[in-house]
Amino acid sequence: MKKLSILSAILGLAFVGTASAADVTIYHSPTCPHCHHAREFISNTLIYEYPTITVTEVNVMEPDNRPKFQEALKKCEYESGGVPVLVIGEKCFQGYADFMQDNLRTAVEVGLTDAELNEVSANKKALSEDAEKFKSEHADRANAIVEYSAAAVAAQEAAELQKKSEGGSVIWFWGLLVILVAGLGYVLVRKDKKK
């Protein structure tokens, strides 16, 4: 029993500080007013309240992005393809209205430590007192939102694969060169020993 409690303590220490806000993926259409309001809430409020959050926006009107949207609908067990669909950690939300904001925040807060929740509380207070000042002081938070593009991801994967294969070619070249030089050295040394 003592070994189990020691192991639990070690594992507990290993995971201290690893919690962070749940990441958000929003599937949207540029023509959807509810999507616009959800994206506005995320970009004007949520990313400032939660400093460790990252947001991925997926435009479902891009044909290359549709398979990713279909995966999300399947994961969330949604029959309808209506947008917005927000995936926050393991929680899914379809549609958007202001009354959902607290539910979205709760989903983001899963796994946060007390210290992180205190920071969130301080951020909310600062935003309510002077939002423009707080946002200007934390302008880097706008970088927390990235636009997903299946075509860009495929191009990046292809470039990485090519880079790996070029790296492999270089290794083969140098390896072969070393073998040839070693072989030539062996032949020359052996020739000198015969004389």
Residue-wise pLDDT tens digits, 135-153:
999 999 999 999 998 888 8
Residues 6+ apart with CB under 8 A from 34: 83, 84, 95, 96, 97
Q: Are 57 and 118 in contact (CB under 8 A)?
A: no
At residue 27, the pLDDT reads 97
pLDDT given for residue 153 in this prediction: 81
pTM score above 0.85 = no
CB 130 within 8 A of CB 48: no
What residues in the chain have per-residue pLDDT under 70?
Answer: 1-20, 165-172, 191-195
pLDDT digits over 62-100, tens only?
Answer: 999 999 999 999 999 999 899 999 999 999 999 999 999
